[in-house]
Chains A and B, each alone.
Chain A
Amino acid sequence: MSVRERRRIELNPNQVLFLTGSSGKLGLVKTGQDMQIFIGTPEKEEIVVFLGKDDIIAVSAFESGKKAEKGILAMMYLLKEFSAPIIVLPENHPTSKRLKMVVACGDHINLDCDVQAGTHPEQDILCACSELSGLDIDAVEDGIEIEGNFEQFRMDKLDQ
């Protein structure tokens, strides 16, 4: 029987935490301020997600390495500085297989490798590679708490 670890990691809004698996990478940032994320749904609706300063934004890339990190940082920049909207694709949309990264936000995020990328508007579930699947991430004051087992991670400056 494996034991799930729960780790608290300090993270300020100018930092990004990367969790790495063999086929994917996850980037986590704190919002640091009240902000909004706009979601366009297949039902032609717009949902506005209102985030507080302690909430987190997670970007999951379906490849690892430096290229994935640059993509994650670019997506963080678009969301935080440009208020770029997120688009939810209808199920079985042919473009789902082209997605290189997906986004979630809020005070709790569960990573799951068993969902179809880009099809779910629920912001507490995020598609991720198998090694990171099952992790539960909670926003806490001045950082995050992650429950589950992961090995490779590193912190970097957000502003690069």
Chain B
Amino acid sequence: MADLKMKKLKTKRYRCLDCGNIFQGIGKRVVCPSCQSENVEESN
């Protein structure tokens, strides 16, 4: 098996406005993985 050049996933950084959790995610319906709140925003 050959090595694959690692290419970065196009993730975004999010912050939960309810519990303050900061996380990296990718996908369609983003919720906070800690408290499951939909009240999240993209964070730099």
Contacts and interface: CB of A to CB of B under 8 A. Distances in A.
Majority DSSP secondary structure for residues of A touching B: loop
A115 B27 contact: no
B17 interface: no
B24 A47 contact: yes
Contacts, number: 63
Which range holds the interface residue count of chain B?
10 to 19
A125 B6 contact: no
A17 B23 CA distance: 33
Interface string A32-48: 00101010000001111
Nearest to A83: B33
Contacts of A115: 1-4
Interface of A: 34, 36, 38, 45-52, 91-92, 106, 113-117, 119-123, 125, 127
